[in-house]
Amino acid sequence: MGTDSKIPLIIIAGPTATGKTEVAVKVAEKVSGEIISADSMLIYRHMNIGTAKPTEQEKNGIPHHLVDVAEPDAQFTVAVFQQQARRAITDIGRRGKTPLLVGGTGFYIDAVIYDYDFGQAGPSREIRDMLLKEAADKGNQAVHDRLKQVDPHTADRIHANNLKRVIRALEIYYQTGARGWRDKNKIDYSCYNKIFFCLYFQRDKLYQRIEERVDKMIKQGLAEEVRELLRRGYHPGLVSMQGLGYREMVGYLHNRYSLEEAVHMLKRNTRRFAKRQLTWLKRYSNIKWIDMGQVNSTDHVAGEIAELAGRVWQR
């Protein structure tokens, strides 16, 4: 496929609390674009506060795809995400609009921009149920230790609490014997003419923004949101309920610790998560880094992104 026939794709990534949504919406306004979310938590319905899901006002009329597409107990794999995201990108491009892939879930971004074939090992209910039971009985670390024994390289890249990805890696290994499958298949997906931006803040400022975001979530009613999810019957062991903010609030609501302790844990865990996101993003080549602490305004950043993308695509 020649460059002229490729779909232009803007990618805006970055750690949590760096203002990706606000910048992306403004870029979309400038380039007649639509946003595809690359966030593994925004896919879930009924989970709004803890995921910092953009409101209709924040979307400002810009269509957002892959948001609110699954119930919290749905089995939503990265293969499903890849299929739906690529379909959305193609549709947006065919309508003469510009697709923007926006989010901080590196594995989701990889699934779209690299030529990964997830068909080599389909989901195995038997393996998955066995590993979920082990996690429930012995903790996530026990399942992660399993992966470490058979594929230490992959285990080093996946945090023990990211149970969904740990189990997926084990599913692939048990069915195919493949190790390090992501690196072996890391070939650019040829359908896109992409330009990749990463928003970031210096560490102290980022941590301040994270703390402010957590405080805002608590004021907005995060505990009540989690209480309602539990009332609806969504089990704490679900992948969705293991997300940041949800697992900490479950512990509080189950009287394992105080609200103050839950907030402290959430801030600490979010800082650690942001650090892992940055580590992931530093692996990409040809990425354009934007220090959000040094910019005049988000509108100015959006203008620069739109202008640079336009120059690249006109070559």
pLDDT tens column, 272-289: 999 999 988 998 888 999
Q: What proportion of the chain, given as a percentage, has pLDDT over 70?
A: 92
pLDDT at 200: 97
pLDDT at 204: 97
Q: How far apart are CA 267 and CA 262, in angstroms?
A: 9
Mean pLDDT across 132-141: 88
How much is the pTM?
0.83
| Domains of the chain as residue ranges with CATH | 3-116+185-313 (3.40.50.300), 119-183 (1.10.20.140)
How many residues are present in the chain?
315
Residue 126's pLDDT band, with cuts at 50, 70 and 90, is confident
Question: Which tokens go with 185?
Answer: 């298949």
Q: Are 41 and 239 in contact (CB under 8 A)?
A: no
Burial of 265 from C-beta contacts in 10 A (0-12 / 13-18 / 19+):
middle
Q: Which stretch of 73-82, 138-147, 192-201, 281-290 has the lowest confidence by average pLDDT? A: 73-82
Mean pLDDT across 202-208: 97
Q: How far apart are CA 222 and CA 228, in angstroms?
A: 10
Among 125-129, 159-163, 257-261, the range with the most confident prediction by mean pLDDT is 257-261
3-class SS of residue 315: coil
Contact residues for 294 (Cβ-Cβ < 8 A; gap 6+)? none
pLDDT at 122: 60
Q: Are 107 and 163 in contact (CB under 8 A)?
A: no
pLDDT, tens only, 15-55: 999 999 999 999 999 999 999 999 999 999 999 999 999 99
Whether 181 has a pLDDT exceeding 70, the answer reads no
pLDDT at 4: 62
Greatest C-alpha distance within the chain = 60
pLDDT at 285: 84
For the chain, the C-alpha Rg in angstroms (whole number) is 19
Whether 269 has a pLDDT exceeding 60, the answer reads yes
Question: Which tokens go with 278?
Answer: 């940055």
